[in-house]
Amino acid sequence: MSAARVVLVTGASSGIGRACTEAFLAEGARVIAAARRTERLADLHAEHGDAVLPLTMDVRDRAQVSAALTSLPADWTPIDVLVNNAGLAAGRGPIHTDDPDNWDRMLDTNVRGLLNVSACVLPGMVERGSGHVVNIGSNAGREVYPGGAVYCATKAAVERITRGMRMDVLGSGVRISQVDPGMVETEFSLVRFDGDEAPAKAVYEGLTPLSPGDVADVVTWIASRPPHVVVADVLLYPVDQAGSGRVARRS
């Protein structure tokens, strides 16, 4: 990857997004690291210096996203690679007893947020005839499990958006890819269980989940293929997972 490449990673303050940020930096790229938690982004900047541009934004807020991305310093544009990673699951309860606010958070972040950011970045890529968008979906977008209806629906929507995006930009030279991880140990489960550590930890017990770096390896590999190559999608599991809820736990 050329040192001139500028990569925008959403959800860079934690987990997969942070690992992607560090992996792209290791390849010599400069990274616009976006998330809501400014202090985490400041830590990234302190650790990696001016190759990181911290960008505080809530992907759900279209006006805020637009303001942040249209006022980037000139030397941080154009954006060559966009990793649409910011996302979350909220709750594991049955849909008939779930809190509708959870649905809003997931739909607004995972679907509308991805669209809000893409709307700011994709037109420039198409105009320039180059660029790469990597959407982070999930194995959950390919199936559904009890207590996961809305989260799975948001990730299924990501998959439809990825495919549709690829069709819409066809002929422009812009590449659209998706990475669907299985279980990755991040803050994902802690967020899902509203900070309750015991059920969050139990998710990964008895198996070795993917690390955020495992996913980042795939994302950077996809983004470093020659310009005529599109890795359309990748499904990535830990060895002890074969589907949502289909896991082998070894005690």
Residues contributing to the site for ligand 8X3 (CB under 6 A): 138-140, 148, 151, 183, 244
Using CB under 6 A, list all residues that contact ligand NDP.
10-17, 35-37, 40, 58-60, 85-88, 109, 113, 136, 138, 181, 183-184, 186-188, 191
Q: Which residues, at least 6 apart from 222, have a Cβ–Cβ distance to it below 8 Å?
A: 132, 134, 177, 179, 231, 234
Can you tell me whether residue 54 is helix, strand or coil? Answer: strand
How many residues does this entry show for the chain?
251
> Residue 187 CB, nearest distance to ligand NDP (Å)?
4
Strand 233-236 with 52-56, pairing: unpaired
User: How far apart (Å, rounded) are the C-alpha atoms in residues 198 and 230?
Assistant: 40
Which of ligand NDP, ligand 8X3, none does 177 bind, CB closer than 5 to 8 A by kind? none
* Count of alpha carbons within 13 angstroms of residue 85, beta-carbon side: 30
Closest CB to ligand NDP among residues 126, 149: 149
99 residue type, one letter: D
Which of ligand NDP, ligand 8X3, none does 136 bind, CB closer than 5 to 8 A by kind? ligand NDP
Q: Cα–chain-centroid distance for residue 49?
A: 23
Closest CB to ligand NDP among residues 4, 119: 119
**Residue 151: active-site member:** yes
User: How far apart (Å, rounded) are the C-alpha atoms in residues 210 and 208?
Assistant: 7
Closest CB to ligand NDP among residues 122, 127: 122
Which of ligand NDP, ligand 8X3, none does 148 bind, CB closer than 5 to 8 A by kind? ligand 8X3
The closest of 136, 117, 104, 122 to 55, measured between CA atoms, is 117
The 10 Å Cβ neighbour count of residue 94 is 10
Which of ligand NDP, ligand 8X3, none does 11 bind, CB closer than 5 to 8 A by kind? ligand NDP
Residue with the shortest CB distance to ligand 8X3 = 138
Which of ligand 8X3, ligand NDP, none does 32 bind, CB closer than 5 to 8 A by kind? none
Can you tell me whether residue 247 is helix, strand or coil? Answer: strand
Closest CB to ligand NDP among residues 56, 96: 56
Closest CB to ligand NDP among residues 11, 131: 11
Which of the residues are catalytic? 151
